[in-house]
A and B are shown apart, each in its own frame.
Chain A
Amino acid sequence: MSPEALISALYVFALAAFLGYQVISRVPPLLHTPLMSATNAISGISLVGSIVTAGAHYNTVSTVLGFTAVFCSTTNVVGGFVITDRMLRMFKRKPTVKEKKK
């Protein structure tokens, strides 16, 4: 990695950290469990690295490691999103007086 590439990667990191702080401090405690499973699913994006390792055929060891990594990340991505959806569907408003009367 060239120094220029490192610096631009650090820019991305720093800005993402700042943004992450802003966005996540606004999540109410009510949704902290869905937040954790959602960020888990999102960080399963390391899948994109695993996919290249599993398919590029550098050598057998890399392919095996890559395959295992693809499996692990996919489990996280799919499981994480499915379970977050499931949880969020459970959070309901109190029915208003009108709705109750129906």
Chain B
Amino acid sequence: MHTYFIEISYLLASILFILGLKGLSHPESAKRGMHLAEFGMLMAIIGTLMHYEIVTYTWIITGLVLGSLVGLAMGLWVPMTAMPQRTALSHAFGAFAAALVGISEFYRVGGHLETITMSALGFEVMLGALTTTGSLLAFAKLQGLVRGTPVTYRGQNVFNMALLATTVGIFIYLIIVPGSMPLFFTMVGLAFVFGILLVIPIGAADMPVVMSLLNSYAGLASAATGFVLKNNVLIIAGTLDGFSGFILSILMCRAMNRSMANVLFGAFGSAAKSDKPGEQSGTMREVSLDDIAVQLAYAKQVVFVPGYGMATAQAQHAVRELADTLEKRGVTVKFGIHPVAGRMPGHMNVLLAEANVPYSSLYELEQINPEFPSTDVAVVIGANDVVNPDARDNPGSPIAGMPILEVDRAKSVVVLKRGQGKGFSGLENPLFFKEVTGMLYGDAKDTLTRMIQAVQQA
């Protein structure tokens, strides 16, 4: 009887999860969808608590309460600018949980598992372990605890491949000859190390791809747990998560016109530095804030293009205020969002939504590009590579072919930048040297606040 109740609660949860994700196809239906998914989760947990094997609730309740407290604190107080870090951390937690369940299962039966279960368990533990350390390193890079620049050394890829081969070798041995505890724990240890090595060579600008990929691994680890425990809701939820991450990483790669292999093994930032430096001629034209304010105030259409610099300067509220001020004067204001702007998929959208920019003003790359020729002023805030015209014009550029926001087609371009340095990829950006472009140096938030006043006086 209990078994039926549990299985039905799982079935219900699976259906509600799918409906929940379906809701995410539109902002209006998304909230209700998430409530369905939350209800599904609750059902599955209540169902599981009736499992016949459970003899003591002490540790379950303690874990649930402590986890809820930490989760609630993180959920309520993490600022939107720190969303990439929090997401990386939660990938680590999810993957670690999957790895632990697998290890515990192996330990319980003394490693004597038959072929199929051992195969699933191996996948679960390896994916779980490498995602844990990989995500923790991604977290450290995003939080600024570790430098975001790629770390490379000679023979890196060969070394990584050798390590991976060893790990998989042990895995295959364990499937054929089950039961060796030391070998199993060596495999787990190597997978933990491999996770670090996988993320070390990846630069900050490639984080959206890595985040998506780790998301995918964490999901697949959960799905593998489902195979080990013969639990369908785990397989379904894990697969949905795994595929979501996979689709996102493909979209991110496409938005940079690069292959997955290139992102993972290319160590972008360091390779780009070898590109002929100093071939850019011309000077960057620094413009005065008041001139720009007048241009903005009398423009018909203004497009803002935010990048990671907006997040670091916490300038999203100032941007919205400026947009409001302009709209009051009758200027049409739009926001052009590049898919890989920021450190995770959709990062800029969330920040601007937080600052109360209505989502109908946020435009995707394909929608906004045809608008630039009829745009009077394009304002680039802390974005660099996503507006680099070299990607379109210079086939020799390391980012050649990457779809960009074509701000240089606007009648006038203003670039808000912290200093004269290069972007995260270390590439020279010809946009800054164009005649239509004016540069405004300084902290973006500060500049924008002064700009609002100047526009009001114009």
Interface of A toward B, CB cutoff 8 Å: 1, 3, 5-6, 9, 12-13, 16-17, 19-21, 23-59, 61-63, 65-95
Q: Are A32 and B248 in contact (CB under 8 A)?
A: yes
> How many B residues face the partner with a CB closer than 8 A?
114
Cross-chain contact of B244 among A28, A39, A47, A58 (Cβ < 8 A): A39
Q: Are B31 and A88 in contact (CB under 8 A)?
A: yes
| Chain B positions within 8 Å of A62 at CB level | 104, 107-108
Q: A44-B41, A48-B234, A56-B55 are known contacts. Are A74 and B67 too (CB-CB below 8 A)?
A: yes
Q: A27-B24, A36-B211, A69-B97 are known contacts. Are A17 and B71 too (CB-CB below 8 A)?
A: no
Q: Are B44 and A79 in contact (CB under 8 A)?
A: no
Cα A63 to Cα B27 with chains together (Å): 41
| Chain A positions within 8 Å of B105 at CB level | 53
Of B358-366, B416-424, B444-452, the one contacting chain A is B358-366
Cα A85 to Cα B120 with chains together (Å): 33
Q: Are A51 and B51 in contact (CB under 8 A)?
A: yes
Q: Which of B44-85 contact A (CB under 8 A)?
A: 44-45, 47-49, 51, 53-57, 59-60, 62-64, 66-68, 70-72, 74-76, 78, 80, 83
Q: Are A33 and B237 in contact (CB under 8 A)?
A: no
Q: Are A38 and B225 in contact (CB under 8 A)?
A: no
CB distance from A78 to the nearest CB of B (A): 3
| Chain B positions within 8 Å of A54 at CB level | 59-60, 63
- List 18 additional contacts besides A42-B21, A43-B238, A46-B234; criterion CB under 8 Å: A5-B230, A20-B242, A20-B244, A28-B25, A29-B349, A33-B347, A36-B87, A41-B37, A41-B41, A42-B237, A45-B13, A52-B54, A54-B63, A56-B55, A66-B59, A80-B75, A81-B75, A92-B353
Cross-chain contact of B70 among A28, A51, A75, A91 (Cβ < 8 A): A75
| Chain B positions within 8 Å of A56 at CB level | 51, 53-55
Q: Are B90 and A76 in contact (CB under 8 A)?
A: yes
Q: Are B101 and A1 in contact (CB under 8 A)?
A: no
Cα A79 to Cα B223 with chains together (Å): 21
Q: Are B247 and A67 in contact (CB under 8 A)?
A: no
Q: Are A93 and B359 in contact (CB under 8 A)?
A: yes
CB distance from A61 to the nearest CB of B (A): 6
Q: Which of B303-358 contact A (CB under 8 A)?
A: 337, 339, 344-347, 349-350, 353-354, 356, 358
Q: Which of B86-145 contact A (CB under 8 A)?
A: 86-87, 90-91, 93-94, 96-98, 100-101, 103-105, 107-108, 114, 116-117, 120
Q: A16-B236, A45-B44, A85-B34 are known contacts. Are A65 and B103 too (CB-CB below 8 A)?
A: yes
Q: A46-B234, A73-B97, A76-B71 are known contacts. Are A24 and B359 too (CB-CB below 8 A)?
A: no
Cα A83 to Cα B239 with chains together (Å): 22
Is B240 close to A, CB under 8 A? Answer: yes
Q: Are B234 and A85 in contact (CB under 8 A)?
A: no
CB distance from B330 to the nearest CB of A (A): 14
Cα A58 to Cα B101 with chains together (Å): 13
Question: Of B104, B105, B344, which is in contact with the most chain A CB atoms at under 10 Å from its CB?
Answer: B104
Q: A36-B248, A39-B215, A57-B55 are known contacts. Are A48 and B231 too (CB-CB below 8 A)?
A: yes
CB distance from A69 to the nearest CB of B (A): 4
Question: Of B49, B96, B237, which is in contact with the most chain A CB atoms at under 10 Å from its CB?
Answer: B237
Q: Are A40 and B41 in contact (CB under 8 A)?
A: no
CB closest residue in chain B, given A89: B31
Q: Are B235 and A9 in contact (CB under 8 A)?
A: yes
Q: A48-B48, A74-B67, A76-B97 are known contacts. Are A35 and B59 too (CB-CB below 8 A)?
A: no
Is B285 close to A, CB under 8 A? Answer: no
Q: Are A35 and B44 in contact (CB under 8 A)?
A: no
| Chain A positions within 8 Å of B117 at CB level | 1
Q: Are A50 and B100 in contact (CB under 8 A)?
A: yes
Q: A16-B239, A23-B21, A91-B27 are known contacts. Are A72 and B93 too (CB-CB below 8 A)?
A: yes
Cα A55 to Cα B221 with chains together (Å): 22
